[in-house]
Structure 1
């Protein structure tokens, strides 16, 4: 039968790295691939107690439908957290979503017509490209350095492309590079968005996982014209399986995005929203986040020390102050996907995410993203040592 798909399905294709990541999920593989939180940081016992209390005290409500905006007490707590970070926020600015990933889809659905331009960092989050692609945008990319997106290059892009709808950025502990955008560049980003009449989509699921240095205010905190849409998530600060995130946006935008959410899934899980709300009611979530930071700080330090000890000195790497990832750059003649397929999986029993898929326009094959979050420290050292042995042969 000839299935008559919409033209947008031409942009929905299996990722070239899916097969590699499936192989990397085998139990004998040390996988630095998925951006998974460490399971040991999940507050299982506390959540189990909260679940029992919710079912005892509010079971009939927790198992019922809720509004598309989300559970009111939970939203009130999140509004206060946003205000504490410097973001001007009221209840009608914030609603709940199924993790930040749904926010990416909703924003693209609302703003992008075929051929409109999305500006991204180069490289950028692969999951964002997967969310954006069905709406058939064009991409313009801006290079990065140790302070994040190059603002002079961004302005040149905005000058020369009139169909830019929004700038997408992961400013805190960037996925995939681990880089954090500097304070000065955050301010200038908002200035450029105002000047050239474009939106900013600030994707910030890692913001609270800072284990070194000083916190930098969100881009949204400098927003004077309602141009910044902020995405937050419980996935890295509580657990990803609950699929809870939130959007903060100007009232009109938030209302329209919430209508799109209603069309997509009606609402988030009422039960999961009750669990998150009561967890925050009964326990100090900032104390919990502090314990997560300590775990990731130790793992990151272990990985960086192993990189310095075992990888060739010509391999460049980022040293993040938070988040889950570092980014390796090999010599230009090394194809990271080919290396993983032909040597690493079979010989070293090591997996990572090849970097090419993170580049929206022109792929660069000599990079990879490695995550330290989901591996025990001894496995981090073993895996990096094995990677180093193969790389030294290549070099």
Structure 2
């Protein structure tokens, strides 16, 4: 009976393998490299205790009232300044506050995608972007990557083969899942291609602040003179994820569509947490806070790499990210990371199999490891267990 009632998108929805895995790993007994969790010790808990009292005392019931869909004006101004420091010229009115950058992805799908439209994306790409786009029934064309990001020549080939392309989705900085950073030359070349082919780019940029080598590159949006880059970002990785405060910046014509669709989704993002984020940045040194986070994450990344070099058998390749939260492992073709995961879970270790990050599936010999959310001790222990399992697999 219900089957005849549900919409097609509801009938075809499938549980995310990653989300189901994370339910199983929510235990002190499991060393989970699976989630993209920031380190909880980086959350400004004590500062927020103070700010909660200040904001409530000064604003009273206003903090609990309905608010405009666009978001808190003071936060708009702060974000515009932060983007300006990256070389992006943007007015506060060109920013929409979203419920995390995940809502930005959901709204992107609603704004641009009809059934059969083509999404260009890196291969592999962010799993939750795929999940956000899928209810609109798009087709995907995956663009090959190397250590400098998406390969421009492969992008041109895909553009020449298909005229129904709506958007290119990319994470230029410390990409999830690979940790790769698009080179400056590729960024400039990509913007040239976008102009020549009249291509809309969705630039997802949650990790750029977490730069380990002090040599970050300007965002694609900073090169945009035609209003063709839609910029998504969030405070989830720099302040805390639970407040669910992100944003979209785009041309006025495009942003208007996002705002109208957000009104029908949730009216507005949590107003109280918007005010808290704004007050936190006004009162405290967020740059110093981010530097402290970087020291923690870089040390954990180095620990993971050192452990991989020590415990993994030969014949396995992996990325060495200069920022972000993840690294990417490529196993010998005969090893399935899906089967490896089953055995690893029995020994108290979890990760995400790489096939989940490819819209077309396959690539069973890959996996993503997160280093930000675990202590160095647990990282070393977990990698050692994975190394032992891999050594056993190669002996079969």
Matched, 1:36 2:37: yes
For residues 240 and 19 of structure 1, what CA distance do their matches in structure 2 show?
19
For residues 159 and 341 of structure 2, what CA distance do their matches in structure 1 show?
37
| Structure 1 segment 234-273 matched on structure 2, within 5 A | 234-273=235-274
Which residue of 1 is the match for residue 366 of structure 2? 367
Which residue of 2 is the match for residue 221 of structure 1? 222
Secondary structure at the aligned position of 1:37 is classed as: coil
Which residue of 1 is the match for residue 314 of structure 2? 313
Matched, 1:185 2:182: no
| Two-structure CA RMSD over aligned residues (Å) | 1.1
Tell me the TM-score normalized by structure 1.
Answer: 0.97
Following TM superposition, by how much is the alpha carbon of 1:59 offset from its aligned partner in structure 2, in angstroms?
A: 2.1
Matched, 1:345 2:375: no
Tell me the TM-score normalized by structure 2.
Answer: 0.97
Q: Is the 8 A contact 1:167 1:201 kept in 2?
A: yes
Which residue of 1 is the match for residue 176 of structure 2? 175
Following TM superposition, by how much is the alpha carbon of 1:168 offset from its aligned partner in structure 2, in angstroms?
A: 0.2
Q: Is the 8 A contact 2:79 2:92 kept in 1?
A: no
CA 220–330 in structure 1, closer or farther in 2 if over 3 Å, else same: same
Secondary structure at the aligned position of 1:264 is classed as: coil
Task: Give structure 1 regions of 4+ aligned residues with deviation exceeding 3 angstroms.
Answer: 16-21
Which residue of 1 is the match for residue 123 of structure 2? 122
Q: Is the 8 A contact 1:21 1:353 kept in 2?
A: no
Which residue of 2 is the match for residue 232 of structure 1? 233
Following TM superposition, by how much is the alpha carbon of 1:135 offset from its aligned partner in structure 2, in angstroms?
A: 0.4
Matched, 1:393 2:392: yes
Structure 1 residues without counterparts, runs of 5 or longer: none
Following TM superposition, by how much is the alpha carbon of 1:17 offset from its aligned partner in structure 2, in angstroms?
A: 4.0
User: How many matched pairs?
Assistant: 393
Q: Is the 8 A contact 1:202 1:220 kept in 2?
A: yes
Secondary structure at the aligned position of 2:369 is classed as: strand
For residues 205 and 13 of structure 2, what CA distance do their matches in structure 1 show?
25
Following TM superposition, by how much is the alpha carbon of 1:295 offset from its aligned partner in structure 2, in angstroms?
A: 0.8
| Larger CA deviation: 137-146 vs 190-199 | 190-199
Deviations 1:339-374 (A, max 9, x none): 111x1111x311001111100114211111110011
For residues 294 and 18 of structure 2, what CA distance do their matches in structure 1 show?
29
For residues 140 and 213 of structure 2, what CA distance do their matches in structure 1 show?
33
CA 127–179 in structure 1, closer or farther in 2 if over 3 Å, else same: same
Following TM superposition, by how much is the alpha carbon of 1:2 offset from its aligned partner in structure 2, in angstroms?
A: 3.5
